[in-house]
Structure 1
Amino acid sequence: MYKLVKPLFFLMNPEVAHHNVTGGLKAINKIWGGSKLVRTAFTVNNAALKTQVFGLTFKNPVGLAAGFDKNAEYVDELVDLGFGFIEIGTVTPRPQPGNEKPRMFRLTADEALINRMGFNNLGVDVAATRLKYLKKRENIIIGGNIGKNKVTPNEQAVNDYISCFDALFDVVDYFVVNVSSPNTPGLRDLQEKEPLMHILNTLQQRNLKNGVSRPILLKIAPDLTNSQLDDIIEIVAATGIAGVIATNTTISRDGLRSSPTVTKEMGGLSGKPLTKRSTEVIRYLSEKSNKAFPIIGVGGIHSAEDAQEKIAAGASLVQLYTGFIYEGPALVKRICKALLKK
């Protein structure tokens, strides 16, 4: 079915196509029996898929990465597509429009995307309110991906992360600290050891409310050197955070086949060109740390085999984004079925 409509969506501007798809999901969900029909078509329910990671039980290890549902607007609809967990955001303390359009570009010859969205979102309070009133909250693990506002100086960035952490604490199951997006000026500087330790230690100090704490994960860039990855391993150990998400989008443009008109666009590259590098980062972190912490693998997963490679490299869970756009919602089901066979 998706193969039939995909050419129509790919004729549209990527952001317009995104809004049409998500709007369609909402429309189906409002029709009597629509939600059940979608669930039946795309969900694999099997106890063997349950995965326990950092104290949480996931109904399956396939999640939706941050960026698809920035404002927690479509969680109820996305649950029906069979995901084991959904990560909302990136959210910032205050609303911001993001970068000027156009800001997302398809590289169809590479099955990739370039985006420079710039943390466009309605602010953390909107996301928190929506999550509070979800209908299907008991059926899904939800992560909150948090960042800083563009206008916030790096010296004050920790305050933005605190604001988002506090606002989402009661409505998410885990947190992701995003310091690796290439689309907010200076943000990646926060991946350096000293500022990153400060942010993570500060959040860990606040990470207890009424006897409850939340797992905190760090999302890292694929462009880090081995020396920087060694620092990440040390930082995880020193701060006691729950784990790492590897990886975010890349600023590399190596080996692309698409037209230079598109490949020269600024922003983060995702999709198939990232498959190998993200797996390399996962394997390096897993082996060098002696599997000391869980890793969520993301980057270039377009098939069940891609997901299995990430897991074999050391990932406990995987996430989809660009592969979900190119392959359609049945990708989640295909991965789950392949994991069951294995």
Structure 2
Amino acid sequence: MKTFRHFLAGAALAASFVSHAAFAETLNFGIISTDSSSALKQRWQPLIDDLNKQTGLDVKAFFATDYAGIIEAMRFNKVQIGFFGNASAIEAVDRSDGEVFAKVKYKSGEAGYYSLLITNVNSKWKSVDQVLKNSRDINLGFGDPNSTSGTLVPSYYLLAKNGLSAKTSFKSVLPSSHEANMLAVVNDRIDVATNNTDMLATLKAQHLDRYKEVRVLWKSPLIPSDPLVWRRDLPQATKDKLRSFFDHYAEKDPREQAIMHAISGYSGFADSSDAQLVPIRQMALFQKKEQVQNDARMSDADKKAQLAALDRKLSELDTVAAK
């Protein structure tokens, strides 16, 4: 009987080790909602299938209706690795124990992509200057609140630098995904909308007729290419498998290269770190400074204190950027 009890105890212990190992090797891969879940799954699933085959990991795609859903899923360890934009990656790093470890590369050789302001080719709005001067007559399609190219970059470079605000300067503001904003412009259901060069390139490749319905009114400065983020507490062995896969994926194999191109014109991945988020952090802090400076409800003392705190953070980021 004693031997049998020992056998049962040993079996239970072995089972716990197997369960723990399985958990460590089973991952959810979160993908931000730049498009419909079905479209994203079609583009990303072949890569995830290759990831599973080449690493022995059990990786499953995870989708949410907005960017915050992926950020929160990583925070509560429902997602262990994810594809983010730079602004949403900041949230994942700061709130969800995330760490940037790679970024996508472009076949064109570009180090990143661009935010756009678009309208229908037949729209009466022919230039960005017209839009800025007549904003109160315009319905604006904006991005997800955590979108880099749909919200953060145009909020700063297009609006704040011209004394405008998405919240107060337009007739209406309709936040949505890049895909929904693109379709709204193509179908002439909205005056203008933010978007990016990745989505426009995808539209051109898949629907040339719809691509011809789009006019680009404004193009931002370069945005660093989108990062991959993993949870810091992943086992080192799992991180090593992931890094090895992404470092070499689509280097030579034409089939893998076609998969990357189909996702959004990408050519592969390059190593990266949290340092790539510094310019985006600086942009967000400059935007916050402008909000504080223009807040008529805030006392002078509170305003002074908040501006001093923001300047300290900017100084710290300047030091990091210099390194």
TM-score, shorter chain, exceeding 0.5? no
TM-score range (shorter-chain normalised) is under 0.3
Instruction: Name the TM-score, length of structure 1 as normaliser.
Output: 0.25
Structure of greater relative contact order (alpha carbons < 8 Å, 6+ residues apart): 2
Structure in which a larger fraction of residues adopt helix: 2
Mark the structure with the bigger radius of gyration. Answer: 2
